[in-house]
Amino acid sequence: MAVPRTAPILVASNRGPVSYTLGEDGSLTARRGGGGLVSGLSAIGPDAGAVWVCAALGEGDREAARRAGASHLNPGDTGGQQVRMLDIAPDVFAAAYNGVANSVLWFVHHLLYQTPVEPVFDAEFAEQWAAYESYNAAFADALAQEAVDDAVVLVQDYHLALVPAMLRERRPDLRIGHFSHTPWAPPDYYRLLPDDVAAAVLRGILGGDRAAFLTERWATAFADCCAAVLGAEIVRAGDGEGGGGVATAVRFEGRETRLGVHGLGADADFLRERSRRPDVDERLSALRAQIGPGRKSIVRVDRTELSKNIVRGLLAYRRLLETRPEWRERVVHVAFAYPSRQDLAVYRDYTERVRRIADEINDEYGTDGWTPVALHVKDDFARSLAAYRLADVALVNPIRDGMNLVAKEVPVVSERGCALVLSREAGAYAELGEDALVVNPYDVEGTARALHEALRMSDGERADRTKRLAAAATALPPQAWFLAQLRAL
């Protein structure tokens, strides 16, 4: 059955706003999707008339997609949002999502290939790349079917880099934007990719009218890659007037793709309301009991994933206990490390290392009445909010991160003020750097020192900094972030 062209605004992303689990009796239970992209896009709301096209991620999703057929999911499951979930063949999805997106593109943009994790571009990768192309084509087909004339389409992230060009071929009337939620690799690193893949990803995004990023730094790296790999021309602010400012567009093969920067901020209204609900209060009491009276807490909340640098964070905490014995028994590191992408061995192994090092620290330093690391691995949003409320210190030390919304959410929710230890390689550093304690994520010793400084910061200074951090963190809330992209197209 052909889908009527009804959508004036479309959003496309791998992960959608909802995911399903399939019960043994065939029942489907819907649950809100996680991650920064979903948090940002969820602000679209049902009234915008937008259709959100996403992929079925697991068996429950596939069943829901099959039941919906070519129609949208039951709006009761999606908060009223019109969602079309694509039932992509499991082997194609696995090769595109696990093989290309999360093993290769994710590693390139986060500079994660370091011995012993090296890139492998063999026959299996060639097959995975073919799957990635067909997975992107499935999105382009669905978007082309649903979009009304001159509709606006916002394509999200590295999973769907080929969609803008594919969609332009099918529907030249559309206005197409691509948004990257990841960092972008600098050219010398980007060129680890096979030449044809490196070029295809750039050509794919340049098929749109606009390519947008979370920070200026990632936009510049993208433009530099276009110049280095494709020989494209970079248009800069002030060009023609002897300028040479920031890159504003890329010209390639007779077309111009504008560049944009939209630093997604935290949703203060939602967070403040959500973090005061009874389920969060309940978890707050449990966490307080776990930490123990009179002790300080260092909190981190991450998906367990290599770019988040959780292991070095734990090593820095261990170093703190070693070099500053005055903190023993007086602080607990509350680490939420939620397993992610566990189909891939490299992510599973990392999760194991995180557990092992947390256990080692507890064995080395723990006493009868004190467990130095409280590691939680079961994803629980209400508990994360409770931890934001009580944190004395938040540790956000990624090797590289598109933005990192945790750094922005903590100051908004914090009750008594929270010192932020922040990696200079997180996108959030551009907006929060001044009031955070900034660290080089590879420098364990420096991170231990920053934790010490954060723990001994006076109450007054912590509260002042938190106020300024919260203001900077909420400058562009999700709804404004989304509207800014629409307007720019």
Which residues of this protein are in contact with ligand F6P, per CB under 6 A? 15, 35-37, 102, 157, 181-182, 340-341, 402
Helical ranges in 345-396 per DSSP H: 345-365, 381-390
In the bound complex, what is the minimum distance in angstroms from residue 193's beta carbon to ligand F6P?
18
Q: Which is nearer to ligand F6P, 15 or 383 (CB)?
A: 15
**Residue whose C-beta lies closest to ligand F6P:** 35
Q: Which is nearer to ligand F6P, 398 or 411 (CB)?
A: 398
In the bound complex, what is the minimum distance in angstroms from residue 246's beta carbon to ligand F6P?
23
In the bound complex, what is the minimum distance in angstroms from residue 432's beta carbon to ligand F6P?
18
Q: Which is nearer to ligand F6P, 213 or 365 (CB)?
A: 213
Q: Which is nearer to ligand F6P, 373 or 387 (CB)?
A: 387
Q: Which is nearer to ligand F6P, 203 or 400 (CB)?
A: 400
Taking Cα atoms as reference points, which of 413, 213, 431 lies closest to residue 422?
431
Contact 88, 138 (CB under 8 A): yes
Q: Which is nearer to ligand F6P, 38 or 374 (CB)?
A: 38
In the bound complex, what is the minimum distance in angstroms from residue 68's beta carbon to ligand F6P?
21
Q: Which is nearer to ligand F6P, 144 or 214 (CB)?
A: 214
In the bound complex, what is the minimum distance in angstroms from residue 106's beta carbon to ligand F6P?
8
Q: Which is nearer to ligand F6P, 35 or 238 (CB)?
A: 35
Q: How many CA atoms lie within 13 A of 302 on its CB side?
A: 29
Contact 229, 187 (CB under 8 A): yes
Taking Cα atoms as reference points, which of 194, 187, 131 lies closest to residue 159?
131
Could you tell me the two tokens for 286?
A: 């449990």
In the bound complex, what is the minimum distance in angstroms from residue 38's beta carbon to ligand F6P?
7
Sign of CA dihedral 412, 418, 419, 423: negative
Contact 449, 11 (CB under 8 A): no
Q: Could you give the C-alpha distances from 378 to 302, 383, 416, in angstroms and in order?
A: 11, 10, 26
Q: Which is nearer to ligand F6P, 256 or 379 (CB)?
A: 379
Contact 155, 135 (CB under 8 A): no
In the bound complex, what is the minimum distance in angstroms from residue 107's beta carbon to ligand F6P?
13
In the bound complex, what is the minimum distance in angstroms from residue 404's beta carbon to ligand F6P?
9
Sign of CA dihedral 109, 141, 61, 178: positive
Residue 370 is classified by DSSP as B
* DSSP string for 421-447: EEETTBTTHHHHGGGSEEE-TT-HHHH
In the bound complex, what is the minimum distance in angstroms from residue 102's beta carbon to ligand F6P?
6
C-alpha triplet 112, 114, 116: angle, nearest 5°:
120
Contact 25, 15 (CB under 8 A): no
d(CA 337, CA 287): 15
Contact 97, 118 (CB under 8 A): no
Taking Cα atoms as reference points, which of 182, 252, 246, 248 lies closest to residue 218?
182
